[in-house]
Amino acid sequence: MNNNDREILKFEIINEIKKVNEDIESYKKLVQPISPDNAIGRISRMEAINSKSINEAALRKAKESLSKLNQALSIIDEPDFGLCIICEEEIPVARLKIMPGTEYCISCAEKL
């Protein structure tokens, strides 16, 4: 990976981290405990519980991708960043942009 690609990728990772952090904040608001207030009615309460669990899953996913992004950012300046850990070939930059935390090239990822 050349330095230019590395700088661009770093910039994109930092932007993505900001975005994911904002997502996490909004999911956190959505997963607040649902009040046992009967006024909202049984069905809408069930809906609220349902969407709460969807948001909880989304929150977990966002936290996972945040930790992958932070991990990628912490090693991006290492000389072997962007190399597949199995075949040691360069992972295409386009792939790293979509999945900055990936440690496998496309063909090794497919074999897994």
- What is the binding site for Zn ion (CB under 5 A)? 84, 86-87, 105, 108
Per DSSP, the chain holds a count of helices (H) and strands (E) of 4, 0
**Cβ closer to Zn ion: 5 or 23?**
5
CB of 8 to Zn ion, least distance (A): 22
List the beta bridge partners of residue 83.
Answer: 90
CB of 60 to Zn ion, least distance (A): 28
**Cβ closer to Zn ion: 65 or 102?**
102
**Cβ closer to Zn ion: 93 or 108?**
108
CB of 91 to Zn ion, least distance (A): 7
Question: Tokens 């897994």 identify what position?
Answer: 112
Q: Rg of the Cα trace of the chain?
A: 19
Which of 109, 110, 78, 76 has the alpha carbon at shortest distance from 93?
76
